[in-house]
Amino acid sequence: MTVLASARTLLFVPGNRPDRFAKAAASGADAVVLDLEDAVAPEQKPAAREHVAEWLKAGNSAVVRVNAAGTPWHDDDVAAVGDVAMALMVPKAERAEDLPRGTVIPLVETAAGIDNARAVCSAPGVVRPAFGSVDLAAELGVDPASYYALLHARSALVLAAAAAGCAPPVDGVTTSLDEVGLLRADTAHAVELGFTGKLCIHPRQIEHVHAALRPTDSELDWARRVVAAADGGVSVVDGQMVDRPVVLRAERLLSRGGTLR
């Protein structure tokens, strides 16, 4: 699905707060994720599932984060919303056989999931993976804010997505709502590693993520000149050789900047 493959921001909304669904859809996020998992207490999950299913059946569009395979709620979640959601985001994704049919965003957030990421990303229906930094950090006993501690896991997921032929992954949340500089730095770090989107937990994060994901003016200028100089062989731009791989990188930068023609 093209929309989800290129989505820059995916905004979580608790499934037990139907009063927020429409506001989230109007927030400017590229996609909304109605959450039936972490944001909803066990006793509220059946009601939340009904709220989400009702809103989607009314013609609205959203991804739904269902509860993980093996939990008491997973099968009922999939049955209730699997046919009406844009995609199902599946937490604790570790095995391809645990993913439901249809369009899926596996949320890879365990050591086993990272270890088996290529198989997960290669499962039928997977449009792109998402990275669960907070949960993985808890399992590993490291600080989720540490770029170094989670560097291998992030890079492994980027490589797995590329090897599987699906869209690049979506990075995990920045839990601070007030530190704009941190949010932008987190996003820039993810972009440097090959991520092309980010999970958000509040509407005010969206514009800052979009800005951080956009290539700089100098990058876009370079990319335009590379594409203009491309002639199917080898050319030179700024004293550097330009061949097909360089052109592909330039085209990706232009696509991210919304200027590819």
Domains of the chain in sequence order = 2-213 (3.20.20.60), 217-256 (no CATH)
- Mean pLDDT score, 177-194: 96
Q: Are strands 31-35 and 9-14 parallel, antiparallel or unpaired?
A: parallel
- Mean pLDDT score, 64-91: 98
Model confidence at 226, pLDDT cuts 50, 70, 90, reads low
Q: Which residue has the tokens 């139907």?
A: 18
Question: Minimal CA–CA distance to 167: which of 131, 198, 195?
Answer: 195
pLDDT at 121 over 50: yes
Q: What percent of the chain has pLDDT over 70?
A: 93
Please answer whether residues 69 and 90 qualify as being in contact, where contact means their C-beta atoms are separated by less than 8 angstroms.
yes
